[in-house]
Amino acid sequence: MQITRAGTLFLLCCFDLCFASSFQRFSFNKQELEHYRLETRNLFYHGYDNYMQLAYPHDELYPIKCCERTRNFQDEADVVRNDAMGNYSSTMVDSLTTLAILGDKARFREAINLIRTDLDPDFKINTTVQVFETTIRILGGLLSAHLYATDPSKKVYLGSEYDGFLLQRARNLADRLLPAYLTKTGLPLPRINLANAYHNVTPKILEENNAAAMACPMFEFTLLSYLTHDDKYQQVTRYAFDKVWAQRSELDLIPMSFSPHNQMAFNHYTGTGASIDSFYEYALKGAILFQDDQLWEVWQSSYYALRKHSKDDWFFANVDLSRGQVVYPWIDSLSAFFPGLQVLAGDVQDAQQKHLLFLKLWNNYAGIPERWVFQPQTADTLANISEVPLPWYPLRPEFVETTYFLYRATKDVFYLKVAWTILQDIKTFYRTKCGFAGLQDVTTGQLQDRMETFVLSETFKYLYLIFDVDNELHTDSSNVVFSTEAHPMWLRSSDFESYRSQKQFNDTLYRDHLTHCRHRDVAARKSSLDQFFEGISRYVFHRSEQPRINSSLEFETDADLVSMDQASCTISASNDIRSEFSYSHMLSEFDRLFEVDHLFAETLRKPTRFLDRGPMELEPDFYRLWCRNSKRNPKCRVLPTTESFEVIFELDSSFAKRRVPLNRYSSLANLTIANLAGIRMQIETLYDGAIDIYGELVEAQNIAHVPRENVYGAMTCPATVTGAVRSSVMVPTIYRATAVDGVPLALNATVRISSLPSFGKALTGILGVNSDNMLLLDDVPVMNVIFAV
């Protein structure tokens, strides 16, 4: 790892400094933040104004050719091109709320007037589009703009000059999309023709839909019901949301895509990226916006399932639905949004860790590849697959979004530095003559002539909000949430009251449709009663090896700035910190900042064009200012030499049946659980002289003299200890639980099991209990798992 020399950086940034002498770079004082805020705003205008001049009223602008980009009118089945381009001026509609957040009333008003004059009020447009994309970009954009225009507390409030027509437009569009739900299952078709519904649409493009696309219109449509009191939007889309959740496996994991015609799943794994991402997002955000306890339950259960079955230290893996084992060693660019959602849920600590992996990817590529493979491929698996098999990056917003949430939650300048880096990279690598082009290949830097609508509606919005610390949204006391397309949504308490008292569902077509769907559900449930669960007591004992970590850290450092002592792994910085500054917690106290670089050294390879690009977190000027604190020197945790594995206690088939989430995100002290059944436990093998996962040295005295025999009887007692009923023997190795159901245990935390072990004699030899009431696994004591009865 190399730290970019200060001199180089100064030259790169000289241009900025010339115009911004009122601040010291990385002091992040008011003037500096204001400078970046204005820069971000101007970048947005560069894209938006060019679109309006060169491409409006068409959907998009070619940022390199500098003319309009439209759908493929010749080939309706060209879904890659057409899905998000309905010939409805999508870039402008999707940008409305960025204008609102900028407080730009003039452009906001102008855009709304253009919608009134230019856009077909009935959306009777002969184009086939994706229901989900049209919902989040267009319907969501119209609804959020309507909220802004009618809220007197907002800068772009339009008062009496606005008659509320956007809400009627939103309703007209929703009526065009809703026929997609008229399937036998009640799950929506992926696409629909805005003028002709599903008539004459090629059946091939209606066969498969993904979980997010089927579940998520619920959010925008429910808001529409709140605002119009017509409850059909809510009921029809909510039925589909609940049905997607009902497709979950016994482990509460949801398949990523299935057929809207017969619910057949197309795959048997899940993750947090493409196809499933917004399901989680809208379960939580719907719970907040609509104060909906059932959605909250869905969020709790689904997030618990992910934590239990899919969580690695640094990302959520793609896991098998019925066993929760990692099946594909990659992560999607889209999953970068997930840490932001964790922040919203209150799991900030884990969010900071998950965000780091994406930060390292950004260090490498100045972008996030669509897919990155974290495990080096060996000859016998998928030979010769590049670590970036899908190498494009269309300036997606998810990493900026997560950075925004983490900054708002922690106020750690670390995240301002991330935002600063993103800002510089956008200027350097993505800005074109008339807009911003995505990268076709992050390894070569080849551009694609495309500016997706989310660049203006999301990427720049979140970046702007990071620097605009005083934005009106940040002091808003209503429960504002961002839609998955970054459109802010909120409801006033009067909206709740009027919705509850006035909602109606008059439309007989949709009412009858839902009634039929529910009848079919009841019939299906009856026939599945035959499939009795076989109550045979059985055990399944899974173990999975974790990759062994190489414990030698190597840093090539800028000697006059940072020196790293290899042995203790302590970084010490020079002493010129200015007292009015606080420090960055992530830089100064988080002791696993470089573990990712190390763990994934084989697949986090820099493209040759970036060989001398330094890691953003170690940029000298930033580091010098922020990496220290009054209490202690920054530290790197020593990497473990122990091995870890996972155990699933599938006792009486309870693995799948367990439904009592551990409602905590980490355990600092002792954890009590009712029984072992269904628990997924991470276990570390300790031996004298090892470094454990907490970075501590394991000493013989702490693991010796632990009784080993199983009090359940002689079956497993080795012949050599006959007679000695309770002798203690020296144990060369011992186990320790380090996580239970995805809840990490702090050093010294004990897991107490409050009921007697239920496995009895049948499992002796595999499971047991010693005379200290400790759990035994294969006759090895698990030193911190105690039966407390």
Ligand X SMILES: *[C@@H]1O[C@H](CO)[C@@H](O)[C@H](O)[C@H]1NC(C)=O
- Smallest distance, ligand X to C-beta of residue 94, A: 16
DSSP calls for 118-165: HS-TT-----EEEHHHHIIIIIHHHHHHHHHHH-TTSTT--GGG--SH
Cβ proximity to ligand X: between 11 and 669 the closer is 669
Q: Is 646 a catalytic residue?
A: no
Please name the amino acid found at residue 295. L
What tokens does 262 get?
């017969």
Contact string 58-77 vs ligand X (x = CB under 6 A): ---------------x--x-
**Is 370 assigned a catalytic role?**
yes
Please identify, using beta-carbon distances, which residue of 466 and 676 lies nearer to ligand X: 676
Q: Is 484 annotated as a binding residue?
A: yes
Rank residues 446 and 748 by Cβ distance to ligand X and give the closer one.
Answer: 748
| Cβ atoms of 236 and 159 closer than 8 Å | no
Q: How far is the CB of 616 from ligand X (least distance, A)?
A: 23
| Nearer CB in complex with ligand X: 444/504 | 504
Q: How far apart are CA 13 and CA 621, in angstroms?
A: 12
Which listed residue (203, 669, 720, 761) binds ligand X by CB under 6 A?
A: 669
Distance CA 447, CA 675 (A): 56
Closest contact distance (angstroms) between CB of 671 and ligand X is 9
Task: Count the alpha carbons within 13 Å of 141 in the hemisphere toward its beta carbon.
Answer: 27
Would you say 125 or 274 has its CB closer to ligand X?
125
> Which whole-number Å values give the CA distances from 375 to 371, 555, 568, 599, 600, in the listed order?
12, 22, 29, 10, 8
Which residue of the set 398, 619, 650, 779 is catalytic? 398
Q: Least separation, in Å, of the C-beta of 506 and ligand X?
A: 4
Looking at residue 428, the DSSP 8-state letter turns out to be I
Q: How far is the CB of 127 from ligand X (least distance, A)?
A: 6
CA distances to 422, 465, 483, 561 from 367, rounded to whole Å, are: 8, 20, 23, 28
> Per rule CB under 6 A, is residue 595 in the interface with ligand X?
no
Q: How far apart are CA 140 and CA 563, in angstroms?
A: 51
Which residues inside 548-577 make contact with ligand X, applying CB under 6 A? 550, 552
Beta strand spans in 433-516 (E): 439-441, 446-447, 481-482, 488-489
For ligand X, the closer CB: 57 or 661: 57
**Which CB atom, from 349 or from 670, has the smaller least distance to ligand X?**
670
Task: Write down the least CB distance from residue 545 to ligand X, Å.
Answer: 15
Q: Pick the binder of ligand X from 4, 6, 35, 57 (CB under 6 A).
A: 57
DSSP collapsed to 3 states, 646-660: EEECEECCHHHHCCC
Q: Whose CA is closest to 431, among 481, 495, 366?
A: 366
Q: Would you state the structure tokens that stand for residue 315, as one six-digit string?
A: 């990302």
| Residue 465: burial class (beta carbons within 10 Å; 0-12, 13-18, 19+) | buried
Catalytic residue among 60, 94, 370, 485: 370
On whether the CB atoms of residues 295 and 242 are closer than 8 A, the answer is no
Angle ∠(376,377,379) on CA atoms, nearest 5? 140
- Residue 503 C-beta: closest distance to ligand X, Å: 8
User: For ligand X, which residue of 448, 471, 633, 670 counts as binding (CB under 6 A)?
Assistant: 670
- Smallest distance from the beta carbon of 500 to ligand X, in angstroms? 14
**Among residues 207 and 699, whose Cβ is nearest to ligand X?**
699
Q: Is 687 helix (H, G, I), strand (E, B) or coil?
A: strand
Least separation in angstroms between CB 688 and ligand X: 16
Task: Report the site for ligand X in 733-772 (rule: CB under 6 A).
Answer: 747-748, 750
Q: Map residue 779 onto helix, strand or coil.
A: coil
Known catalytic residue: 133? yes
Report the 10 Å Cβ neighbour count for 611.
8
Q: What is the 3-state secondary structure (H, E, C) of 326-382?
A: EEECEEEHHHHHHHHHHHHHCCHHHHHHHHHHHHHHHHHHCCCCCEEECCCCCCCCC
Q: Indicate the residue whose CB is closest to ligand X.
A: 383
Nearer to ligand X, 57 or 695 (CB): 57
For residues 640 and 551, is the Cβ–Cβ distance under 8 A?
yes
Give the footprint of ligand X on residues 117-136 (CB under 6 A): 125-127
Three-state SS for 413?
Answer: helix
Say if CB 134 and CB 193 are below 8 A apart: no
Q: Is 153 exposed, middle or buried (0-12, 13-18, 19+ CB in 10 A)?
A: exposed
Which x/- pattern, by CB under 6 A, does the window 501-530 give for ligand X?
---x-x------------------------
> What part of residues 208-267 is at the interface with ligand X (CB under 6 A)?
229-230
Separation of alpha carbons 605 and 648, rounded Å: 34
Of 86-115, which residues contact ligand X (CB under 6 A)?
A: 87
Give residues 367-386 in contact with ligand X (rule: CB under 6 A).
383-384
Q: Which of 32, 39, 277, 281 is catalytic?
A: 277
User: Is residue 277 among the annotated active site residues?
Assistant: yes
For residues 235 and 177, give the distance between their C-alpha atoms in angstroms, rounded to a whole number.
Answer: 14
User: Which residues carry out catalysis?
Assistant: 133, 277, 370, 398
Binding residue positions for Ca(2+): 484
Binding residues: 484
Residues that bind ligand X (CB under 6 A): 57, 73, 76, 87, 125-127, 196, 229-230, 383-384, 504, 506, 550, 552, 669-670, 747-748, 750, 786
